[in-house]
Amino acid sequence: MSVVIAIDAGTTGVRSRAVFSDGSKSVSSYREFTQHFPQPGWVEHDAQEIWQAVLATLQDVTQQITQTITAIGITNQRETIVAWNKQTGKPYGNAIVWQDRRTADRCVELAEHLPLVRQQTGLVLDPYFSATKIEWLLNNREIRQDDDLCIGTIDSWLIWNLTGSKSFVTDCTNASRTMLFDIAELRWSDQLTKLFGVQPKFLPEVRASSGEFGVTIQHGSVPAGISISGVAGDQHAALFGQACFDTGSTKNTYGTGSFVLMNVGTTCPKPKDGMLTTIAWQLGSDRPIYALEGAIFVTGAAIQWLRDGLNIIDNASEINALAQSVSDSGGVVVVPAFTGLGSPWWDAYARGAIFGITRGTSRAHIARATIESIVFQTRDVVEAMSQAAGVAISELKVDGGASVVDFMLQLQADHLGVNVMRPNELETTAMGAAYLAGLAKGVWQSTKDISDAWQLEKTFSPVAQPTGYEAWQVAVKRSMNWAK
């Protein structure tokens, strides 16, 4: 029996997990880290704190297992950017997080370059992506732009530390989210790096998602010599972990935000309105697999807001029963555009709103409307994605923390008119990272082995005529014009 450790470095915490080749129950360890909000719309993380959380969870897991570790896989929050010095290993201030909106005005200024960005990266001009974050760092922090400067996503930062400063690398999925990478040519774009003032030498070497990234040095109970052989951004890893290997297969991860990805095969598609085109993964020297993506910025975070911001619930697990305690939302519509709207709207200036409040509105109505907002946003994306791909989805695989809410998934099935399928294993991002690493080392021989390991826990089939979507569409448009 082989064991692969997956490091899942998310937006609010880090989990390290030992995945066993025979399907034995895994061993895991989790640590949260601090969220920093220095100004309205700004979100930062302490990269050193993330590294220490990774190290703590790795040491915890390695102390609980006796088997020799075959490989390490890494999956990470995407688009978040760290700049650090090669000689000291210290970051130049906090990392700028994917949720950060400080460069919204800069994206507007760059509007004339949108066709180039769309053509080469498959992305849109939005502060969500890394390029304007990097430009901001270089222009606003005291950073020496010399041969000792490293700028990378969280995976690059972690590999650098795990390998004792020997490997400055990333994978093609993370590179594809920077707005600096040509996803058809599979290289850093000369035009875009020049546009954003980023010298390519500051950026990591880009490799396939499954292959060699370096080997560990010893860190306490974490032994030296372990191959890091699988890396992917979290949503790409989830698509892989959900065994979405056939063209047209689609998943949605209900996490802090929600991200719908559809496998569209080995041909890089032309940009589609409202949708992102991204690299899904690349196995060794094979051609990369591409995906259409719809990015929803706030879903599970809206439930956290009910808990921490409005104190409507004490625990996120309460929302299922509370939302079902009323037969409908009482006309209330929640638009959780706390950091703007992503797909298919792409409005960085939209803001969250609650419409339809009356004297009879209760916390249960707001809770139900919040659940419905997750469903409605997913419907927006799936319908736009189906139109872009020219094919309707036949089913939707789901995962992520909020996918345990049966009520929400039933509403989702009703609104999409297709089966919503929840697997036994909900931590598909970690599983995807483990599979990518294990494939490179022969722990799993092929993607068929991974498909065979995927197990269905529950199917939600459409049963009711959906309601409320028309009011949602009106509310979204008003949230986009809130200042007018």
Q: Report the chain's mean pLDDT, rounded to a whole number.
A: 91
Q: Helix-strand-coil percent breakdown of the chain, rounded to 5?
A: 35, 25, 40
Q: What percent of the chain has pLDDT over 90?
A: 66
Residues in the chain: 484
**What are 339-351's pLDDT values in tens digits?**
888 889 888 788 8
**Full 3-state SS string of 22-48:** CCCCCEEEEEECCCECCCCCCCEECHH
Task: Specify the pLDDT at position 295.
Answer: 86
Place of tokens 């061993």: 27
How far is residue 248's CA from residue 438's CA, in Å, rounded to a whole number?
25
**Is residue 357 exposed (0-12), middle (13-18) or buried (19+ Cβ within 10 Å)?**
middle
Instruction: Extract the runs of DSSP E, i.e. beta strands, from 269-418.
Output: 276-281, 289-296, 333-335, 353-355, 395-399
Contacts of 301 (CB under 8 A, 6+ apart): 256, 257, 336, 338
Distances in Å between the Cα of 295 and the Cα atoms of 23, 96, 257, 328, 412 are: 31, 18, 8, 27, 17
**pLDDT bucket at 1, cuts 50 / 70 / 90:** low
How far is residue 59's CA from residue 29's CA, in Å, rounded to a whole number?
9
**Which residue segments constitute the domains of the chain, with CATH numbers given?**
3-242 (3.30.420.40)
Task: Specify the pLDDT at position 484.
Answer: 54
Q: For the range 447-454, what are the long-range contacts, defined as Cβ-Cβ under 8 Å and sequence gap of 24 or more? A: 447/243, 447/245, 450/240, 450/243, 450/245, 451/243, 451/245, 453/23, 453/243, 454/242, 454/243, 454/423, 454/425
Strand partners, 6: 17, 73
64 is written with which tokens?
A: 């609980």
**What are 122-173's pLDDT values in tens digits?**
999 989 899 999 999 999 998 989 999 999 999 999 999 999 999 999 999 9
Place of tokens 């991002």: 429
